[in-house]
Amino acid sequence: MVLAGDPIGRPGGDTRTMSESVQQLATDVPNRPGRLIALDVLRGIAILGTLGTNIWIFTDPEGLVGYVGGLGSAAETGWMWSERVLQQLAQGKFLGLLTVMFGIGLAIQQSSAQRAGRRWPGKYPWRAALLFLDGLLNFLLVAEFDVLMGYAVTGLVVAYLLATSERARRRWLITAASIHVTMLTLIAAALAFAPAQEPATSEPLDPNPYADGSFWDLVLFRLDHALEFRLEAVFVFPMSVALFLVGARLYRAGVFRPEGTRIRRWLMVIGFAVAAPLDFTIGVFGGGDLVLSTRYGLAPFVALGILAAVAEFYLRRPRVGFAGSRLSEVGKTALSCYILQNLLAGILCYGWGFGLAARVSESARVPFTIGIYVLVVVLITAFAHLWLRRFERGPVEWLWHRSYQLLAG
């Protein structure tokens, strides 16, 4: 995102303009401009990629409740296999990439603070508090599957971990990853050895606030079910800590610099040659119970492969190109675009807006979802492009930055 106090990963803590910051960063690390392109593009990919998962929630007539209830059981229509493939291609990969990018962002902010002679984490808790507030408002008013609240808590913990020694950070990474893998293994074992039962038929939501309720009805529904809707953030906390630390470690190891070729090669081999085929096969042909193994087990490795591939691409390519420019613009306004894409999808699909999700037949659900996704992507990329032609920061980033200045001085 954008400069001082940036929650996702541009250098923070000062009031330099973007061009001054880029110029300074370019003198600090060899080939830094190419690296900066990769960072912005990766943020853009992560934002648009998370929409690739979330859009199926918006186009379900029962929103998140209906989506979770139907995981792994695509409707028996002519589009069934297309739905399974499309959902699996996005499932967890871009959530993992976004999580790693937050970790990289923390490492960049720490480096910026150290170069300026400031203590770390210093005033970072104010940034975490603002991000948590952003997430809380996003959760209540826009999307109950918000990730910002969880990232705020994780970022606060990892900010202090980054101030420890390399050996301590490695231990914390191994510990967090081990806890996460242990939880996944126990859940998988419980599901495997559970007695076979007839699949339960879920009762339809009555009343259904997604299709029939007002905007305020949906806010109250999120409040009433806050515990259930926030369970994922609690469950993935160890994974998030591990991926934050992995992102910081990769940044320091030079994954975005020419000397990081070996690291990038290994990440692409593990991500694309090993994890991606397993993830795709299990996700598409396995049952719904296996979604935890793919979303939280294999997908993060695919995300690291994507990160390495984009870093390699922009180290070799001197020009950004049209697609890269649009993605980097979304990346520079990532917080605004993340909230805006969910808001636009809600307006199009929920009952308080146009209510399109409840009007579409089940047989047309997949092409309808694809259409909504393409429309929202076009709208937010156009927004990012037009906004940055006039302003330095996205609107939410600007408000966030000003709030940080007032709170932290």
Return phi, psi of residue 191, to 5°.
Answer: -70, -35
Contact 36, 23 (CB under 8 A): no
Three-state DSSP string of 58-101: HCCCCHHHHHHHCCCCCCCCCCHHHHHHHHHHHCCHHHHHHHHH
Give CA torsion, residues 390, 391, 395, 398, to 10 deg: -170
Q: Where are the domains of the chain?
A: 18-192+204-408
Q: Is the peptide bond before 199 cis (omega within 30 degrees of 0)?
A: no
Mean pLDDT by 10 residues, the chain (409 residues): 45 38 36 63 97 96 90 69 92 96 95 92 94 95 95 97 96 97 90 66 82 95 95 95 98 94 97 96 82 92 98 88 94 96 97 96 94 98 97 93 88
**pLDDT at site 120:** 95
The size of the chain, in residues, is: 409
Distance CA 288, CA 282 (A): 10
| Residue 75, pLDDT score | 59
DSSP 3-state of 361: coil
Please work out, in degrees rounded to the nearest 5, the angle formed at the alpha carbon of residue 82 by the alpha carbons of 196 and 331.
Answer: 110
Residue 363, CA distances (Å) to 22, 72, 74, 122, 368 in order: 49, 17, 11, 54, 10
* Residue 195: predicted pLDDT: 74
Element (H, E) at 252: helix 237-253
* CA-closest candidate to residue 37, choices 331, 403, 370: 331
Task: Quote the distance between the C-alpha of residue 64 and its chain's center.
Answer: 17
DSSP class per residue in 193-246: HSPP-PPPPPPPPSS-TTTT--HHHHHHHHHHTHHHHTHHHHHTHHHHHHHHHH
pLDDT given at position 189: 84
Evaluate the omega torsion of the peptide bond into residue 207 and state whether it is cis, within 30 degrees of 0.
Answer: yes
Report the phi/psi class of residue 178: left, alpha or beta, with left for phi > 0 and alpha for psi in -120 to 50. Answer: alpha
Q: How far is CA 45 from CA 78, 114, 389, in A?
A: 29, 29, 20
For residues 369 and 57, what is the distance between their CA atoms, to the nearest angstrom?
A: 10
**Quick one: pLDDT at residue 6?**
55
H or E, element range at 372: helix 365-390
DSSP letters, 92-144, are THHHHHHHHHHHHHHHHHHHHHHHTT--SSTTHHHHHHHHHHHHHHHHHHT-T
In this structure, what DSSP letter does residue 394 have? -
d(CA 354, CA 346): 9
CA distance 135 to 85: 30
The pLDDT score that the predictor gives to residue 317 is 84
